[in-house]
Amino acid sequence: KSSGGISTPPNQRQQGSKMAKRIGDILIDLGYVDQDQLELALTESKKTGIMLGDVLLRLDWVTQEQLQMCLAVQSGAKLLDTDAIKVDPGLISQVPQEFITSHGIMPLQKRNNTILAATNNPFDVVAKDKLARITGCRVETYIASKDWLASAIELYYKTALAIDVDIDRITRATVTDDEFEENQIVLLGDRLIEKGLVLGASDIHVVPDVKLSRIYYRIDGVLQQKFLFPIRFHKSLLTRFKIMADMDISNPNIPHDGRIKYSGEIGEIDIRVSTFPTHLGETAVMRLLIYSKVVGDLRRLGLEESDFDLFLSHIKRPYGLIVATGPTGSGKTTTLYSALMTVNSPNINVMTVEDPIEYIIPTIRQTAVNPKAGLSFGNALRSAMRQDPDIILVGEIRDTETADLALRASMTGHLVFSTLHTNDAASAINRLLDLGVSKGILASSLSLVIAQRLVRKICTNCCDHAEPDERQIALFDQHGIVPPERLVVPVGCDSCYHAGYRGRTGIYEVIRVDREIQGLIFTGALHSTIEEAAVNAGTSLMLKQALKKAAAGITSFEEVYRVVADA
């Protein structure tokens, strides 16, 4: 991947513009599908008239990213990294929306006299030439999916411009008519959700104050206040969200949980809603579950090459327990779902037991626990074992029963994924032992532990540089890293909403349970002894991994210290 949100496909130099292979052949060459899958998809394509790529997507055999990679190999073009690219609203305002919609090409940025544009068809030279005439600039196209283009066009040409205007108009109005107020509260709720999507937020917080209602958005892991409303809007807004989430609105004095299937101007999204009573009134937190943004190629997670190879080899094994550990919000769900999608195929039975189901995945049998109805993690996992599964995802190991069942499932020919809440990888082993599981069973069943955090990536549009100070140099030296001559420093601009950061990447610590670790588990060794053995076997601790990313200019030293220094 190079700067500016562009990825280069494999073998691009060799293939170039002379590439004549069909998409199906490229899919096989890159290992995305096998011959049987391709033939089945081709048959379905001929029967239905649906494009081959769309058939494969519907069957969940490939991802949008993989199809784009194949198109890039075929055309010799480059891929657009939609997580990293910054769209210039001033540029797109120069091009009519009708042209962009009809031609499937969207201008993104201007560099000198060149327009960078996204397209789902790199072979459409007519659209490229027309855009060049409209803008008076040379046009360089990059490949993006149809879904991303459609969402981006809607977002930047319509919704983004209307959201702030509507919110300001509603909250400044003097409301006297009850019906008008109800209609405006409905619109206000929708606009606050859509604002979260525009900002790329993971959560929306609606918090009461003495005379105000405060709206926060968690962007790249950090809460940022975006709106202040008169307090008279708060109760109505909370009621609106609770109705959308099918919650009980009659008792605001106890916590409630619900789920919204939001469908608005910018598309559909699942939202998990939680309310909590405070002395100033109810507060609400809404988690925006954006599957396409979260679950993707394993390589996007940020694993170092050696850890990536180790992780990939273990998730392709037929049995064993793989545990992802870290605090809430550290990306454990993303890691395990991405692993699931990497190994999922029509030839295996994948089942999940979750609380709640985070992302709905076609072809995977997912179950949400329901303690009130007697369906605990243990009961659900025990029943799932009778469904002839190949792979089981257990949302979290919380008690001895679940831990014991997960370990025994991994011993009987099943691959099991699960999570724990511990600070590092070695602590996960001690945590499982604290739950009372057999040392022998744990030593023989646990195959891999991956601990993680998320750090914000520096905004390349506005960053500055500074020489490292003595403290920073000492920390680099302590971990065997050559200190860089200059470190990146966050600044802040419109592209990153003046945060200095844009997007996040993972920091990982991976322990392979080899014979030495197995022996230490069996003897009940201390955390420090297990960690030392893992480091001697090649494990790189999280702080060292984070410092490497700071040295490479991916994140700042301050961000490393904020997130990982205590790991």
pLDDT range class, residue 4, cuts 50, 70, 90 = very low
Q: What does the DSSP 8-state code read for residue 549?
A: H
Give the Cα separation of 110 and 79 in Å (integer): 17
pLDDT in tens, 266-324: 667 889 999 999 999 999 999 998 765 556 668 878 899 999 999 999 999 999 999 99
Contact between 195 and 167 (Cβ < 8 Å): yes
Residue 382, pLDDT > 80, answer yes
| Measured CA angle at 373 (ends 372, 378), to 5 deg | 90
What do you get for the CA distance between the two ends of the chain, in Å? 28
Quick one: CA torsion of 275, 278, 280, 286, rounded to 10 degrees?
-20
* pTM: predicted TM-score of the whole model, two decimal places: 0.72
Give the Cα separation of 470 and 43 in Å (integer): 65
- The reported pLDDT for the residue numbered 17 is 40
Give the Cα separation of 115 and 104 in Å (integer): 15
Kindly report the backbone phi and psi dihedral angles of residue 360, in degrees, each rounded to the nearest multiple of 5, phi listed first: -80, 125
Q: Average pLDDT over the chain, rounded to whole?
A: 86
Nearest partner of 416 among 434, 432, 436, judged by Cα: 432
Side chain identity, residue 438:
S
Kindly report the backbone phi and psi dihedral angles of residue 59, in degrees, each rounded to the nearest multiple of 5, phi listed first: -80, -5
Quickly list DSSP for 25-40.
Answer: HHHHHTTSS-HHHHHH
Provide the pairing of β-strand 464-466 with 446-458.
Answer: unpaired
Residue 7, pLDDT > 60, answer no
Q: What b/e sequence results for 186-199 when a residue is b if at least 16 CB atoms lie within 10 Å of its CB, and e otherwise?
A: eebbbbbbbbbbbb
| Residue 348: count of CB within 10 angstroms of its CB | 13
- Section 15-19 average pLDDT: 41
* Dihedral-angle region of residue 20 (phi above 0 means left; psi in -120 to 50 means alpha; beta otherwise): alpha
Contact between 156 and 182 (Cβ < 8 Å): no
Give the Cα separation of 194 and 188 in Å (integer): 10
Contact between 319 and 246 (Cβ < 8 Å): no
* CA dihedral over 548, 551, 553, 555, signed as positive or negative: positive
Question: Can you list the alpha helix ranges (DSSP code H) found in 173-280?
Answer: 178-199, 234-244
pLDDT in tens, 490-546: 998 766 778 888 888 999 999 999 999 999 999 999 999 999 999 999 999 999 999
| Structure-token pair, residue 178 | 């009850």
Give the Cα separation of 458 and 455 in Å (integer): 9
- The reported pLDDT for the residue numbered 293 is 57
Chain position carrying tokens 């999507």: 197
Residue 501's beta-bridge partner residues? Answer: 458
Kindly report the backbone phi and psi dihedral angles of residue 548, in degrees, each rounded to the nearest multiple of 5, phi listed first: -60, -40
Contact between 152 and 101 (Cβ < 8 Å): no
Give kind and range of the element (H or E) at residue 22: none
Contact between 516 and 533 (Cβ < 8 Å): yes
Task: Output 462 or 428, whichever has higher pLDDT.
Answer: 428
- The reported pLDDT for the residue numbered 564 is 86
